[in-house]
Chain A
Amino acid sequence: MTTVHPRRPARRYGPDGDPAVAGTEALLQSLSRREPVPVADDVVRLLSALIEDVDHDLAAGQRLSSVSITPSA
């Protein structure tokens, strides 16, 4: 008796062609570049808040640490 296995569906997209993967890449690229992103869900909002929090006072040129980093001559 021959067992008939259902044919596996062929992959429609390569890793770079999957629209969902490309959509995530576009979103994360915008977050990474600190560009405004549409807050589509809670996770995007939370990641945006984390970015804003870690970037806080980073651009202001404030002294960030008590540890000196000045290389000696």
Chain B
Amino acid sequence: MTEGCVADAKSGVRLATRSDGVVHKDDLKDLTSLAVQGDRTAIESLLAQLRPMVVRYCRARLGRVSGQYHIADDVAQEVCIAVLSALPRYRDMGRPFASFVFGIASHKVADALRSSVRSAVPTQDLPDGPDEGPGPEETVVRYIEAEHARRLLSRLPDNQRELLMLRVVSGLSAEETGNVLGMSPGAVRVAQHRALARLRALAELESIA
């Protein structure tokens, strides 16, 4: 794994792990190759990189149920398990690994959306100490605005919605998004510009109505 090395977009997807405001570039392709061979450390690193992006994607697509993300988080977990299960059989055929992962995620989300079964909502344990998080008013405002954003995004054509979800919510770069969707980075930049313009037009229409 080469730290600080930025790959040519053609050679594979490199996903950024962002913690403590520091951006590290890890070679997902090399990591995937090691993980496929059963390297446990590589598998854990791969999961650590993929999981937050998959969770964000599933949360953004599925939203909250009864105020919680437990279904979205379970679906994200199923995606990671499916990726893990498929790893030994995965062969690099030139298709970026992220494309493979988000392909699975997209199908799992679609399955969850089709499913009418809503399981019981688990309740969180009562905290022992004071809650340092945002207050109830701030939380409700954020919740309402996030739902509004989801509603607007759901009115976009599938390709534009998927692009904005990957680019903005999952946190992929234009190059990485292009690798997942089979587009050039330039095409992603133009498409995301159009998608955002459309989103603004939809918001404007809503505010008039």
Chain A residues packing against B (C-beta within 8 Å): 14-16, 18, 20-22, 24-25, 27-29, 31-34, 41-43, 45-47, 49-56, 58-59, 64-67, 69, 71, 73
Contacts and interface: CB of A to CB of B under 8 A. Distances in A.
Interface of B: 18-19, 23, 40, 43, 47, 51-52, 55-56, 59-60, 69-70, 73-74, 76-78, 80-81, 84, 122, 141-143, 145-146, 148-150, 152-153, 167-169, 171-174, 186-187, 189-190, 192-193, 196, 199-200, 203, 207
Contacts of A58: 52, 55-56
A51 B56 CA distance: 8
A64 B55 contact: yes
B146 A49 contact: yes
A49 B152 CA distance: 13
Dominant secondary structure at the B interface = helix
Nearest to B171: A32
A55 B84 CA distance: 23
A19 B74 CA distance: 41
A43 B149 CA distance: 8
A70 B32 CA distance: 17
